[in-house]
Amino acid sequence: MSQRIGVLNVQGAVSEHATHLRRVGAEVHLVRRPEDLTGLAGIVLPGGESTTIGKLLKKYGLFEPLRDRIAEGMPVFGTCAGMILLAERILGGDDPHLAVMDVTVDRNSFGRQRESFEANVAMADMEGDSFPAVFIRAPHIVDAKPSVRVLAEIDGKIVAARQGQMLATAFHPELTDDLRLHRYFSEMVGTSSYVSAMS
């Protein structure tokens, strides 16, 4: 049976993640209401505008059920804005969102859009070539507690990390054809026994 993986469907690169997940064999469900979480074995928080997504999570009543499930061990993969949603602390005094991952992030820390870039990033846990990473007004992790494993850095800035069943990247693996990170997440989901109960 294929894994049922959700993609948070508020705003941003939702269809791109859904396509990648299907290509690695997952059954994709789009999530906008608490009831959409039922039966999920994992969830992706896509890139978009973190302030917009954060506000609407609360409006749709998704905030608490999502946070609780991640705390219970539901595997989660946050990219860019998704990483900001997961972080416990945001530099500069913005209120954190789900605050489940023991990291501090700095938003737009590489500059504005004209500074957005592509780079090949060497990733721990990953065989083969370095990963083609697309950074768009990207954040980075400025501080990670010892329970967080750093997976990739660029110019000394942490841009990919894992803590237990939480995976976060500052870049957008959904914008290239490289499926390795989605496969990696799908394996995380596969080795976890979590299935989200009724909300």
Partner 1 sequence: MTVIGTERVKRGMAQMQKNGVIMDVINAEQARIAEAAGAVAVMALERVPSDIRAAGGVARMADPTIIEEVMKAVSIPVMAKCRIGHIVEARILEAMAVDYIDESEVLTPADDKFHVNKRQFTVPFVCGARDLGEALRRIAEGAAMLRTKGEPGTGNIIEAVKHIRLVQSQIRKIAGMSEDELVAESKNLGAPLDLLMEVHQTGKLPVVNFAAGGVATPADAALMMELGSDGVFVGSGVFKSQEPEKFARAIVEATMNYQDYDLLAKLSKGLGAPMKGIELSTLGQNERMAERGW
Catalytic residues: 80, 172, 174
**How far is residue 152's CA from residue 156's CA, in Å, rounded to a whole number?**
9
Judged by CB under 8 A, does residue 191 bind partner 1? no
Work out the burial of residue 22: count CB atoms within 10 Å of its CB; fewer than 13 is exposed, 13-18 middle, 19 or more buried.
Answer: middle
Closer residue to partner 1 in complex, CB, 66/148:
66
Binds partner 1 (CB under 8 A): choice among 7, 10, 28, 105: 10
At residue 95, what is the residue type?
A: D
Binds partner 1 (CB under 8 A): choice among 117, 179, 194, 199: 117
Judged by CB under 8 A, does residue 114 bind partner 1? yes
Judged by CB under 8 A, does residue 66 bind partner 1? no
| Residue indicated by tokens 């237990």 | 164
Beta-carbon contacts of 199 under 8 Å, excluding residues fewer than 6 positions away, are: 34, 35, 37, 38, 65
Closer residue to partner 1 in complex, CB, 134/166:
134
- Cβ 51 to partner 1 shortest distance, Å: 6
| Residue indicated by tokens 């890139």 | 47
How many Å from the N-terminal Cα to the C-terminal Cα in the chain? 23
Judged by CB under 8 A, does residue 6 bind partner 1? no
Judged by CB under 8 A, does residue 89 bind partner 1? no
**How far is residue 19's CA from residue 50's CA, in Å, rounded to a whole number?**
22
Which residue ranges make up the site for partner 1 (CB under 8 A)?
10-16, 32, 47-49, 51-52, 55-56, 59, 80-81, 94, 107-108, 111-120, 134-137, 154, 172, 175-176
